Amino acid sequence: MNTELRGIGMTSARTRERLISRLREAGIEDERVLEVIRNTPRHLFIDEALAHQAYDDTALPIGYGQTISQPWVVARMTELLIADRVPPKVLEIGTGCGYQTAVLAALCEQVHSVERIRPLQDQARRRLISLGMARVQLKHADGGFGWKAAAPFDGILVACARPDIPDELLGQLADGGRLVMPVGDRVQKLTVVERHGDDITTRALDTVRFVPFQRGVQ
Ligand code: SAH
């Protein structure tokens, strides 16, 4: 390896470690989540021109008016989703670039993910396959309808915001299952919903800013 390449590799290991320290400082405690974030190459999920910012704790544009979520947000949502048990079968709404999908796939047995913008989904598929994550199931559809044929899900993670939780998604949550979603208008609360039989409990936690949940496909 020439010195230039080795240099990039070393910087990248250091910058990744710096990101893990930032996440700890910002309250992320779940070691399983920190380990997965440490091992997931975020720079491969964004445009090469932005790669130098890949391990900053910020959202970045991914085209089509969408963003890759801030690492803290991915870590926090994942931590909330797996807090009591790692849900074996999960549904993600809003694949985007596929980064959160890859984090979920490293933890959960079965991952299903829905995206409404076809070119983003195609790109995410290529990336996930190149990382050896071909078993992730991807669907081009409006996630407002969930993924009925594959339901129920032990965990549902929604990466786009809406003022209400779609009934279809609640209907596809298994007994004992948990849903994590940003609920609100321009500013949202990360909301955790749990189903126990017909009982639904809801907790509104951190303030976040997500791109909107949109209808139809593109
Ligand atoms: N999970 C991504 C975040 C992507 S941003 C990450 O790892 O960073 C949110 C994504 O939700 C966008 O790609 C957007 O196109 C998608 N989205 C918005 N409304 C949707 C809907 N109704 N169904 C499916 N995807 C939707």
What pTM did the predictor assign?
0.95
pLDDT at 1: 43
Rounded to an integer, the average pLDDT of 59-86 is 97
What are the pocket residues of ligand 1 if the criterion is a CB atom closer than 6 Å to any ligand atom? 66-69, 93-94, 96-97, 99-100, 114-117, 120, 142-144, 159-160, 211, 213-214
Instruction: Report the alpha-carbon distance of residue 192 to residue 188 in Å, rounded.
Output: 12
Q: Which CATH class is domain 3-208?
A: alpha beta
pLDDT of 7 reads 47
Q: Which of 58, 113, 109, 114 is nearest to 82 (CA)?
A: 109
pLDDT at 4 over 80: no
Q: What is the pLDDT of residue 191?
A: 98
Look over the chain and give the mean of its residue pLDDT values, rounded to a whole number: 94
pLDDT, tens digit (0-9, with 9 covering 90-100), for 33-52: 999 999 999 999 999 999 99
Q: Where are the domains of the chain?
A: 3-208
Q: How far, in Å, is the centroid of ligand 1 from the Cα of 9?
A: 30
- Percent of the chain having pLDDT more than 70? 95
Mean pLDDT of 148-162: 98
Q: Best mutation site among 95, 118, 123 for ligand 1, i.e. most ligand atoms within 8 A of its Cβ?
A: 95
